Amino acid sequence: MTKSISDLEEIARKCRVEIVKMVHRAQAGHPGGSLSEIDLLAALYATRMRVRPDEPKWGDRDLFILSKGHASPGMYSILAEMGFISHEDLKSYRVLGGICQGHVDMKWCPGVDFSAGSLGMGLSFGMGCATAARLDGSDRRAFVMIGDGEMQEGSVWEAAMAAAHHELGNLKVILDRNRIQNDDFCEVQMRMFDIPAKWKAFGWNVKEIDGHNMTEVMEGLDFLEAPENCNGPSILIAHTIKGAGISYMENNPSFHGAAPNDEQFHQAMIELGEVEA
Amino acid sequence: MTRMAATRDGYGQALLDLAGNEKVVVLEADLGKSTKSLHFRKAYPDRTISCGIGEQNMLLVGAGMAASGYIPFASTFAIFTERAFEQMRNGIARPNLAVHLCGSHGGTHTGTDGSSAQSIEDLAIFRTLPNVVVMHPCDDVSTRVLTMQLPALGTPSYMRTARNKTPVLYDGREDEIKIGKGIILTEGNDVAIVACGVLVSESLKAAESLKAEGIHATVVDMHTLKPIDGELIDTIATRCGALVTAEDHNVIGGLGSAVAEHLVANIFAPLEMVGVPDRFGESGQADEMLEVMQISAHYIALAAKKAISRK
């Protein structure tokens, strides 16, 4: 089923509503990075991922690895939208016994392919999945989303070097370049200089897009899938805004890992068009 | 004359023996020549993944492959497994993905490279991880047999092997070796010596010297530290009434601790723990290191007498 740009924007809007509801309900969690990634996840899941929501462990599925596993509300919201889990399940976020663990966990939640939460791990895991797919002779792909602050973990570069060495054309990375990490802006915490040049120097195919412009997002996903970019690993550097869609969260390091209060929640629902002002 | 061999050679042989299982893959971090996975690499290059000198990446590549239905065997020096501890913890043990990690050149017995290469804490740290089986076999035969049992395990594992040759004990006795089951090598009723790895043969030497003094020792090869064979500990503690543990590992956290943890919760018996006395090593020959660290047969025999005196 073909999705129009406006269809995808609506999916992302609905996911944003769920993200804010989840962190507000739990009074904990990570809204900023969930909101920055969600346009990318909406387009990826709704138009590219070869998955079966009613058969989440289907062997020839594409894999999605959320390496920035704390941005789990974003992933849970799209999994609900796709039908892997129910919208009722979203209420279990950070609740004892709930399938929506604080950080995405493959043992708890259908549709989650990697137990993340510790930064710098997902790309290596994705490399393992991509290597296994190649050995199997399968055309399944491993999509990995990493964060920009996460690139400060040295293990990311171990994986980047190894994936290029092994020419893993079925490994596709999306970088959520939202410019903010836990304590402050990335530029303050640890400058990363020329990020596209770094990945190119490691042997990757690289493209930059605006991660909130759905037309550009679709072009970026086309780039990841293009046959000429399947000679080795590819990365889509998506420039995003932390907290995108909620005015007081945007570009605000305070909302990396903090929940809105009741008043802020109400305002967010107004901004997302869920309630009238 | 006793055949001498290194446990790492048993590991390398086991990988070859397992190759008939097409799901078995080997992961290397530039030390295949040393850990002995190179034989598999030469025979099955398509199923061998070079991860360069990058242990953290290697372990999680293994996790991704295990999640995709493969049975990864990853190896490096024991000391370098430690830098990927959190990968083992969060990416392998927590989701219970059956990646099998082998750390070779463990312990001070590894010798002249000195303290930077002498892992004396690997068994302790991996023992703390839920779902992970921890082993330290004493000869090439048991290493091969235990490694070959790993695909059926279905959970992650850590196995320490050693660089240098030690006496081979199990030629023709392959059937006795099972993950999680300690093996009684010699029987006596005065004291029980529970050892692993390179100190198993030292313990047998200690038992010989004790015998000359009229002291009869049971010696157990406790190749699996986790899950520890509690039933066997109960049996020998009841029979002998005093125990000694012996390991080329920090006396904190390894085999001695595993046995002590079981004893205090189940049965009373004095226990003396022979191990590296909470210090780092130095360059020296393997036999010299056992003396410097006070873990050779002589010290095991002394500990046995002390344990008996505490009955």
Domain boundary among B167, B200, B215: B167
Convert the pLDDT of each residue in A141-166 to its tens digit: 999 999 999 999 999 999 999 999 99
Q: HSE of A260 in the Cβ direction (CA atoms, 13 Å)? A: 23
Is the predicted pLDDT of residue A218 greater than 90, yes or no? yes
pLDDT at A261: 98
Q: Is A104 on the interface with B (CB under 8 A)?
A: no
Task: Report pLDDT digits (tens) over B297-307.
Answer: 999 999 999 99
Q: Which domain holds residue B73?
A: 4-167
> What confidence score (pLDDT) does residue A265 get?
98
Residue of chain A minimizing CA distance to B53: A158
Determine the distance in angstroms separating the CA of A1 from the nearest CA of chain B, rounded to an integer. Answer: 28
Handedness of CA B133, B139, B145, B148 (dihedral sign): positive
For residues B79 and B196, state if they share a domain.
Answer: no
**In a shared domain, residues B204 and B280:** yes
How does DSSP classify residue B171? T
Chosen domain end from B124, B142, B167: B167
Residues 154-173 of A with CB under 8 A from B: 154-155, 158-159, 161-162, 165-166
Gap from B64 CA to chain A (nearest CA, Å): 4
Same domain flag for B227 and B163: no
| Domain-located, residue B119 | yes
Q: What is the pLDDT of residues B215-225, one digit of tens each?
A: 999 999 999 99
User: Are residue B58 and residue B110 in the same domain, yes or no?
Assistant: yes
Please list every residue in chain B whose beta carbon sits closer than 8 Å to the beta carbon of residue A133: 68
* Assigned domain for B130 exists: yes
Average pLDDT over residues A179-188: 96
Is residue A171 classed as helix, strand or coil in its secondary structure?
strand
Average pLDDT of span B58-77: 98
**HSE-up (13 A, CA, CB side) for residue A50:** 11
The residue from B55, B121, B202, B247 that is catalytic is B55
pLDDT at A1: 58
d(CA A222, CA B108): 55
pLDDT score of B111: 87
- Indicate if B26 and B133 belong to the same structural domain: yes
Q: Could A115 and B50 be called an inter-chain contact, meaning their C-beta atoms sit closer than 8 Å?
A: no
ipTM rounded to 2 decimals: 0.95
Q: Do A125 and B47 touch (CB under 8 A)?
A: no
Domain assignment present for B172 = no
Do B95 and A135 make contact, defined as CB atoms within 8 angstroms?
no
Residue B248, pLDDT > 80, answer yes
Say whether pLDDT at A59 is over 70. Answer: yes
Which of B134, B167, B200 terminates a domain? The answer is: B167
Q: Could you tell me the pLDDT band of residue B1, with boundaries at 50, 70 and 90?
A: confident
* Res A100 pLDDT > 70: yes
Q: Which residues pair with B24 in a beta bridge?
A: B71
Domains along the sequence of chain A with CATH: 5-271 (3.40.50.970)
Q: Taking a C-beta distance cutoff of 8 angstroms, is the pair B11, B163 a contact? A: no
Whether B161 and B187 map to the same domain: the answer is no
Task: Report the percent of chain B where pLDDT is more than 90.
Answer: 99
- CATH assignment at residue B45: 3.40.50.970
Q: What average pLDDT does this structure show over B41-47?
A: 98
Q: Which residues of A touch B46 (CB under 8 A)?
A: 135
Query: Is B247 annotated as catalytic?
Result: no
Residue B99: pLDDT above 90?
A: yes
Q: Does a structural domain hold residue B175?
A: no
| Closest to B138 measured CA to CA, from B175, B107, B117 | B107
Average pLDDT over residues B161-188: 97
